[in-house]
A and B are shown apart, each in its own frame.
Chain A
Amino acid sequence: MPSNKSVSDAPICQFVNCRILRDHKLQREDLWVREGQILDPEKLFFDEKGFADKQVDCEGLIIAPGFIDVQINGGFGVDFSQPSSDVASGVRLVGHRILEHGVTSFCPTLVTSPPSVYHQVLPQITVQNGGQHGAGVLGVHVEGPFISAQKKGAHPEQYLRTFSSPGLSDLLQTYGTLERVRVVTLAPELEHSTGVVRELSQRGVTVSLGHSAANLSQAEDAVQSGASFITHLFNAMLPFHHRDPGIVGLLTSDRVPPERTVFYGMISDGIHTNPAALRIAHRAHPKGIVLVTDAIMAMGLPPGRHTLGQQVLEIQGLHAYVAGTKTLSGSIATMDMCVRHFRHASDLVLLDDDLNVKATYICGEEVWRKKT
Chain B
Amino acid sequence: MKLMILNDYDQASEWAAKYIRNKLLQFNPGPGKYFTLGLPTGSTPLGCYKKLIEYYKKGQISFQYVKTFNMDEYVGLPREHPESYHSFMWNNFFKHIDIRAENTNILDGNAADLQAECDAFEDKIKAAGGIQLFVGGIGPDGHIAFNEPGSSLVSRTRVKTLAQDTIIANARFFDGDLCKVPTMALTVGVGTVMDAKEVMILITGAHKAFALYKAIEEGVNHMWTVSAFQQHPQTLFVCDEDATLELSNVSCRPPSINTVLCMQHMNYVHIQPIYSLYKLLCAHTTYINSYVHIQPI
Q: Which of A30-57 contact B (CB under 8 A)?
A: 30, 40-43, 45-46, 48-51
- B residues within 8 Å of A by Cβ? 79-80, 86-87, 90-91, 94-95, 98, 100-102
Q: List 13 A-B contacts (CB under 8 A).
A: A42-B80, A42-B87, A42-B90, A42-B91, A45-B90, A45-B94, A45-B95, A46-B79, A46-B86, A48-B101, A49-B101, A49-B102, A51-B101
Q: How far is the CA of A322 from the CA of B283 in the complex (A)?
A: 78
Measured CB to CB, the nearest residue on chain B to A50 is: B101
Query: Which residues in window 6-50 of A have CB below 8 A to B?
Result: 30, 40-43, 45-46, 48-50
Chain A residues close to B by CB (< 8 Å): 1, 4, 30, 40-43, 45-46, 48-51
In contact, A45 and B101 (Cβ under 8 angstroms): yes
Q: A42-B95, A45-B90, A51-B100 are in contact. List 12 more A-B contacts (CB 8 A).
A: A1-B100, A4-B102, A41-B90, A42-B80, A42-B87, A43-B80, A45-B95, A46-B86, A46-B90, A48-B101, A49-B102, A51-B101
Per the bound structure, the CA–CA distance linking A49 and B106 in Å amounts to 13
CA distance A41 to B80 in the complex (A): 11
Smallest CB separation, B85 vs chain A (Å): 12
CB distance from B99 to the nearest CB of A (A): 9
Q: In the complex, what residues of B have CB within 8 A of residue A43's CB? A: 80
Task: Give Cα A297–Cα B179 distance, bound, in whole angstroms.
Answer: 60
Q: How near does chain B come to A4, taking the closest CB pair, in angstroms? A: 8
Report the bound CA distance from A65 to B171 in whole Å. Answer: 35
- Interface centre among B87, B95, B101, B102, by most chain A C-beta atoms within 10 angstroms, is B101
- Is the pair B101, A42 in contact by a Cβ cutoff of 8 Å? no
Which residues of B lie under 8 Å from residue A41 when comparing CB positions? 90, 95
Query: What is the CB-to-nearest-CB distance from B79 to chain A, in angstroms, rounded to a whole number?
Result: 7
Q: Which 10 A-B pairs have the closest CB atoms?
A: A49-B101, A42-B90, A45-B101, A49-B102, A46-B86, A45-B90, A41-B95, A45-B94, A46-B101, A42-B80
Residues of B within 8 A of A1 (CB): 98, 100
CB nearest neighbor in B for A41:
B95
Residues of B near A4 (CB, < 8 A) are 102
Which residues of chain A come closer than 8 Å to B80, judged between CB atoms? 40, 42-43
Closest beta carbon of chain B to A3's beta carbon, Å: 10
Complexed CA–CA distance, A40 and B80 (Å): 10
B90 adjacent to A49 (CB under 8 Å): no
Distance from A49 Cβ to chain B, minimum over Cβ atoms (Å): 4
- In the complex, the answer to whether B95 meets A49 with C-beta atoms within 8 Å is no
In the complex, what distance in Å separates the CA atom of A4 from the CA atom of B79?
21
Residues of A within 8 A of B100 (CB): 1, 49, 51
Shortest CB-to-CB span from A97 to chain B, Å, is: 38
Given contacts A42-B80, A45-B90, A46-B86, contact A30 B95 (CB under 8 A): yes
Question: Cβ of B87: which chain A residues have Cβ within 8 Å of it?
Answer: 42
Point out the residues of chain A lying under 8 angstroms from B102, CB to CB. Answer: 4, 49
User: Please, how many angstroms separate the alpha-carbon atoms of A30 and B97 in the complex?
Assistant: 13
Complex Cα spacing A1 to B98, Å: 9
User: How far is it, in angstroms, between the C-alpha of A205 and the C-alpha of B87 when the chains are bound?
Assistant: 40
Least Cβ–Cβ distance between A41 and chain B, in angstroms = 6
What is the distance, in angstroms, from B145's C-beta to the closest C-beta of chain A?
A: 21
Residues on A with beta carbons closer than 8 Å to the beta carbon of B101: 45-46, 48-51
Specify the chain A residue showing the minimal Cβ separation from B96: A30
CA distance A43 to B94 in the complex (A): 12
Instruction: Provide the bound-state CA to CA distance between A40 and B82, in Å.
Output: 13
Closest A residue, CB atoms, query B99: A45
Q: Taking the nearest CB of chain B, how far is it from the CB of A223, in angstroms?
A: 35
Give Cα A25 to B86, complex, Å: 24
Give chain B residues whose Cβ lies under 8 Å from the Cβ of A49. Answer: 100-102
Q: Is the CB of A42 within 8 A of B86?
A: yes
